[in-house]
Amino acid sequence: MTFSDLATTWLEALAASPETKRKYRRQFERHILPMFGPIEVETITDTLISDWLKDQVHQHGRSQLTALATRMRDVLDSAVRKRHLKKHLFQKKPLTQVLRLHGYDGPASSRRTSAYITPHLVVPNGGAQLFEQFATDWMHHHSNNRLVREERIQFMDTIWIPALTGRQLDSLDRLDILAVIVPLQKTTPLAACKRAISILDACLQEAVITGCITYNPAQSWSHCLNVPEAAPGMNRKKAAFPQERLAANNHHRKDK
């Protein structure tokens, strides 16, 4: 079972309000699944979790960092209960202590010391750097996991680099994601559309952290996938594609 499947199962079983579940789902999609989503749960190691935690410590303040670590711990606890894992990093010490061992020393730890330098990625030209150069560097950063790199490369090389080639980073805070996503929805399943935007979100968040852009347009991407439920009796294969759902839904309303 992949981490993404386990996280989905855990979230569906969670006794919480719809709004809370939506918030947790956004946290997973933006900050956890880009790294862990396709990985088989039994292959997740403490080293992999540590790498992710060190990255998160330099990106978030206390509240967001604690929330993400809690989501991660809860899903890993579920993996232990279901015997997909024998143990995990968060079982050894209290959550706050684990975060401090990974570099969190209060709000100041999340402040960058240079406009274009983080402990992970150096951007010499700042916002003037072309997107394809930045994306190529980012694709090979933050993880030594082959599956994570391959997924990043797949979506970047087939969708985002062709769409954004030649654009400077500092122009992307005005990016109209719909201009890319609407045509993509005609041929790409909904799950793949979500993953594509989630990966762009992670990439542009790095650009925000390094000071290259001031706003990440992919963080508020839910409007790009405002897809209705499949129309009654709709073919299952067609229902996987957002544009097919929209067309069938509009036709169903007209018939009424």
Which of 58-72, 131-145, 241-255 comes out lowest in average pLDDT?
Answer: 241-255
Q: Could you tell me the pLDDT band of residue 80, with boundaries at 50, 70 and 90? A: very high
Q: Could you tell me the pLDDT band of residue 98, with boundaries at 50, 70 and 90? A: confident
3-state secondary structure the chain: CEHHHHHHHHHHHCCCCHHHHHHHHHHHHHHHHHHHCCCEHHHCCHHHHHHHHHHHHCCCCHHHHHHHHHHHHHHHHHHHHCCCCCCCHHHCCCHHHHHHHCCCCCHHHHCCCECCECCCCECCCHHHCEHHHHHHHHHCCCCCCHHHHHHHHHHHHHHHHHHHCCCEHHHHHHCCCHHHHHHHCCCCCHHHHHHHHHHHHHHHHHHHHCCCCCCCHHHHCHHHHCCCCCCCCCCHHHHCCHHHHHHHHHHHHHHC
pLDDT in tens, 18-68: 889 999 999 999 999 988 999 999 999 888 888 888 888 777 777 788 889
Domain boundaries, the chain: 1-111, 113-225, 228-256
pLDDT in tens, 151-193: 888 888 988 889 888 988 888 877 777 677 777 777 777 778 8
Q: Could you tell me the pLDDT band of residue 116, with boundaries at 50, 70 and 90? A: very low
113-225 maps to CATH 1.10.287.3510: no
1-111 maps to CATH 1.10.150.130: yes
Average pLDDT over residues 100-110: 54
Per CATH, 1-111 and 113-225 having the same topology is answered: yes
Residue 250 pLDDT > 70? no
Residue 112 pLDDT > 50? no
